[in-house]
Structure 1
């Protein structure tokens, strides 16, 4: 008869400690979270993120938003309730709700610019001014002449708003026909000098840290009755004069130019303007800016592009490849200077109702930020924060549209750089980033603009996934909803954006399995077993 070995009593504590250690290790090899998970249902898509390889950097204030100059001057602009240009009132910048909402994007960049910037006259005295004769009858479309007066109170209110919401200001200065010598066509600096001097006299003067000479200078001759053909070689002289003025009156501020408007299918001409201007004026440009809208709204003239706003066009891979080419070429022309996509939205000419104000736009925006960051643009200015169909907040109630909530999630979970990410884009649009406020961790941003659930099998190059959790932006599967929720919770009436805990992500064999519901956007924060070197201090 065989006898079982007897374990001496004095060895039991050692064995129990070993067993506890083993059980703890088993627990850590799971997801490091006591909330149990199982493999989520859905079509699986394999995604690879390299936590050691940056594919592009992000500015600290990479989330930008815009007010159109017309919203200050009372100019004609796109109404969200009409297809016509109508006089645009200034949003209530003192609104506690508006300020509370926009502060969720801090630190951010606020741009004041647009077509009417090149028609605006700054009133050098306190109060209202008459528009000088030289600033009248300057638009090619004479039926839509704008009043065009920018007051000292306008600048004061803009600066106070920016300070309240944690933003810095990019201000676009008139390079249109008004301040030009009618005989030589040369730009004259007197009104711009008065504007910059007043801005720098304010107590929050340092917020005006970027000055922009003109809006879309490559098409000023299309928009305005100009006394000269504004080719790059001629504009270089204006830019030199502006740079001298800005550096004298606002030392330390940056000059952002040329802000060329890229027309889809005609982008090579717009790229040539950017290249040619940089060739002769590189020393007078600190930040290279450009403008691109993914598609055109029904309001836009056919000559801009045949690409009308729709889900199909926004995610058309051949169209995206063209946009990637534009971005890559601008970055190459910048040759090391920062590149900002200084005006962008899913559809031009005020945006497209039923697209730009819906969850579809939020899913597109998340993909667009990743694409443009990968191709060299480090900051994105959404046209607009409020106003038109592309405004991220409802113009009447300031209720957040889905794209605004996507912006908030970017601020909470993304910073520093976009990471090299590979995987099929057929069902899922995925980009890896460094996780905000979590050194060494990674955030995967996943857009699913389809009617079926998709599961992203995420592998990190060179390391396993230690734990992960996710946040979902959705609207009960409705891609065209104008309101959305984060983890099932909608923003409060007072402007509070919910910040609920994330949901645990299933881990298996060192990979994360992230379920993305139909027509939803997910931010998945992933902790690697080995800290991401591209995201470490």
Structure 2
């Protein structure tokens, strides 16, 4: 048995920007990104998609970019990708923003990115920090798990109301952030959270669910020491 990987690169959306009062302002400097994209084309590498930014939506993690500016930056990314792949089909997917869902921010972003965006990606860590001693209680509580349904439902409504053809992806999700918790996120009990998430995402028309991570942290699908599969590997 073997698996064929589909490669997606995340590009630094902060290049060229200045940080002012917790917000990154100014246009994206795509010079380095464009050079890298053209290099992959020259090598005939097959790239499934290009994603701009990481956790910069809404209030962001560390800093944020306004929905309006992000839409301009995504349009610039699509332009350089499509020029680089002018004679190549199929072209890679244009993916963004790879951040946590904020209804107002996402609505403005998706509306303004209507002709540029092909995948709207968001991150989910609905179990809170890995150090939480009540992590197992949350995993085994259906009412708690159901609380994340509003994110999926609201994003689905945003896409429907904007008229975009872009689809929804969970671009990153590990349940509990900061690498999860040993003997919880790398054990059988985590399957209750994971299977619930997969079912919920499918219910609300999510097309792809990317698990954090293959190798790395206590929420990895493989043991970081000997690379043997953790229980969730068999549900992926």
Structure 1 and Structure 2 fold alike (TM over 0.5): yes
Distance 1:274 1:171, change over 3 A: same
Structure 2: how far apart are the matches of 1:334 and 1:397? 42
Matching residue of 2:6: 168
Deviations 1:101-145 (A, max 9, x none): xx3xxxxxxxxxxxxxxxxxxxxxxxxxxxxxxxxxxxxxxxxxx
1:190 aligns with 2:19: no
Which residue in 1 is equivalent to 2:129?
Answer: 297
Tell me if 1:241 matches 2:76: yes
Report the count of equivalent residues.
223
- Following superposition, the deviation at residue 223 of structure 1 comes to 1.8
Q: Tell me the residue number matched to 1:438.
A: none
C-alpha distance 378-196 of structure 1, shift in aligned 2 (>3 A): same
Find 1:314's aligned residue among 127, 136, 139: 139
Which whole-Å deviations, capped at 9, do the CAs of 1:88-109 have from their partners, x for residues lacking one? xxxxxxxxxxxx7xx3xxxxxx
SS for the counterpart of 1:378 is: strand
2:128·2:176 contact (CA, 8 Å) conserved in 1? Answer: yes
Q: Which residue of 2 aligns with 1:275?
A: 107
Cα distance, 1:315–1:374 mapped onto 2, change above 3 Å: farther
* 1:344 equivalent in structure 2: 173
Instruction: Select the structure of larger CA radius of gyration.
Output: 1
Distance 1:349 1:337 in 2: 30
- Specify the alignment match of 1:377 in structure 2: 206
Correspondences of 1:57-76 after superposition (within 5 Å) = none
Offset from partner CA, 1:275-334 (integer Å, 9 cap, x none): 1101111111101111111312345xxxxxxx7662321243333332111101112212
Give the Cα separation in 2 of the matches to 1:285 and 1:220: 21
2 CA distance for matches of 1:220 and 1:171?
Answer: 23
Counterpart in the other structure of 1:389: 218
CA–CA distance in structure 2, aligned partners of residues 222 and 329 of structure 1: 21
Aligned-residue Cα RMSD (Å) equals 2.2
Q: CA deviation at 1:193?
A: 0.7
The question of whether the paired residues in 2 share the 8 Å contact of 1:295 and 1:309 is answered with: no
Does residue 1:180 correspond to 2:12, yes or no? no
CA contact (8 A) 2:140 2:192 kept: no
- Does the C-alpha gap of structure 1 residues 363 and 317 become closer, same or farther in structure 2, counting only changes over 3 Å? closer
- Matched with 1:507 is none
Deviations 1:211-256 (A, max 9, x none): 10111221675425xxxx6211122222221121112123511101
Where structure 1 has 5 or more consecutive residues not aligned to the other structure, the ranges are 1-99, 104-164, 263-269, 300-306, 408-537
Question: Would you say the 8 A contact 1:314–1:346 is kept in 2?
Answer: no
**Alpha carbons 1:217, 1:260 under 8 Å: kept:** yes
Decide whether aligned partners of structure 1 residues 343 and 222 sit closer, same or farther in structure 2, where only a CA change above 3 A counts.
Answer: closer
Q: Distance in 2 between matches of 1:330 and 1:219?
A: 14
Partner Cα distance (1:244, 1:359) in 2: 45
Q: What SS class does the counterpart of residue 283 from structure 1 fall into?
A: coil
Matched, 1:253 2:84: no
Partners of 2:9 and 2:206 in 1: CA distance: 19
Residue 182 and residue 378 in structure 1: after superposition, are their counterparts in 2 closer, same or farther (change >3 A)? closer
- Alpha carbons of 1:364 and 1:181: their partners in 2 closer, same or farther (altered >3 Å)? closer
1:200 has 2:35 as partner: no
Q: Distance in 2 between matches of 1:279 and 1:295?
A: 30
How do 1:30-429 residues align onto structure 2 when only pairs under 5 Å count? 103=2, 165-176=3-14, 179-182=15-18, 185-203=26-44, 205-206=45-46, 208-218=47-57, 222-224=61-63, 230-251=65-86, 252-262=91-101, 270-298=102-130, 310-335=135-160, 336-407=165-236
For residues 206 and 218 of structure 2, the distance between their equivalents in structure 1, rounded to whole angstroms, comes to: 25
Q: Contact between 2:55 and 2:61, CA under 8 Å: does it hold in 1? A: no
Q: Secondary structure at the residue paired with 2:147?
A: helix
CA deviation profile, 1:412-432 (whole Å, cap 9, x unmatched):
xxxxxxxxxxxxxxxxxxxxx
Shift of 1:406: 2.1
Structure number with the higher helix fraction is 2
